[in-house]
Amino acid sequence: MEGHGHSLDELYLLGFPVKHSVGPAMYEAVFKRLGIEAVYRVLEVPPEALGGAVEVLRRRRCRGFNVTIPHKTRVVEHLDLLEPPASTIGAVNTVVIEDGRLVGYNTDVHGFREALLRFTGPRRWGRAVLVGAGGAARAAAYALRDMVEELVIVSRTGRTAEALARDAEAWGVPHATGHAASPRIYRRVLREASLVVNASPVGMEPRSDETPIPAELLQPGTVVFDMVYRPLKTRLLRGAEKAGCTVIDGLWMLASQAAENMRLWYGVHVGVGEFRKAALEAMGMGNHE
C-alpha cells in the first residue's frame, strides 16, 4: 500500500519522554501481517518544540500520529479540526492527516472504556477515585460520565483536579470533586471507592518504585486500573492484588486504543489481543499470558 507520495506510510508517536514506547513494535507487527507498507516511529518532542514538530509532519503528509504525555491537551491548538469526543474533552491522542488537514481524535476514551468493560462488564459504580487530571484523566472522566454516581479526582496541587471535576459534571457525572493529593484525602475517599484509576505517570519506568496510592488504604474487592503499562505490573497493582482487589494493567487500554487507531488510519479491524500480544513480545514477556 503506497501513501501520500512516499513508498512507505509514515506514522509517529510524539511525547516527552517516549523512548520506552512499545508502539513501533506493536504497530509494525500488525502492519506486517496485513501487508501494509508503513513505519511507526517515536519522536521525543519537548513541550516548547511541539508546534514545530506538528508542522513538519503536516508538510511531510504523513498518514497520522499519536500524542502522549505531556502533549494531549497542548496539541489541540495546532490542529484544524477535532472530532467528538476530542472536541468536548479538549484532549487528543490520535491525529489523522487528510489532504494536509490535521484532524484530532480521542481514542483513549474508547480504549479506557473497552479495557474496563472487559474485566467488569457493564455496571454502575458508586464512587470512583481518579488520580491525575491531565489528558488521560480527562478521557477517563468522560468515559465514566454515565457509569458512576460520584467521581473523586486527585491531582498534585488540586487545582487541575477541581477544574476537571467541574468539566466532569458538565459532561454528565452526577457528583464530582477535586482535591490535592495527601494521605488524609486518600484515607477519606478510598474506604468507599469501588473503582480506582491511576491516570498519572507515577509508577512508570524508570521510577517504578513509586506508587500514587499507599496499598494499605485499598479495600478488598475494589477494581484498580493503572494506565501505566511499563512495568506491566506496577507497584500500585502489586499492592492492590495483595489487598484483594481486581487489577487492570495499562496495556489493555493501549491495545484497545491502538485497535481504534487502525480503524481511523486504515479502516481495518484488528483484534485487541493481537496488539497486546505484539506489545508483550516487544517487552520480553511473550509467554506472560
At 49-60, the pLDDT tens digits run 999 999 999 998
Alpha helix (H) residue ranges in the chain:
23-34, 50-60, 86-89, 108-120, 135-143, 159-171, 183-190, 235-242, 250-266, 272-282
Kindly report the average pLDDT of the chain as a whole number. 95
Give the pLDDT score at 287.
Answer: 60
> CB-side exposure of 155: number of CA atoms within 13 Å?
18
Grid cell 489493555 in the structure block, residue = 252
Residues in the chain: 289
pLDDT digits (tens, 9 = 90+) for 224-258: 999 999 999 999 999 999 999 999 999 999 999 99
> CB-side exposure of 99: number of CA atoms within 13 Å?
1
Domains of the chain and CATH, by start? 9-106+252-282 (3.40.50.10860), 109-248 (3.40.50.720)
- Positions annotated as catalytic residues are 72
pTM assigned to the model: 0.95
Instruction: Provide the 8-state DSSP code for 126.
Output: E
Q: In the structure grid, which three cell numbers stand for residue 230, read together?
A: 511499563
β-strands 175-180, 148-155 pairing: parallel
* Mean of pLDDT values over 213-224: 95
d(CA 82, CA 207): 34
The SS3 of residue 122 is coil
d(CA 207, CA 228): 11
C-alpha 198: how far from its chain's center? 10
pLDDT digits (tens, 9 = 90+) for 15-38: 999 888 999 999 999 999 999 999
Q: Is pLDDT above 70 for 167?
A: yes
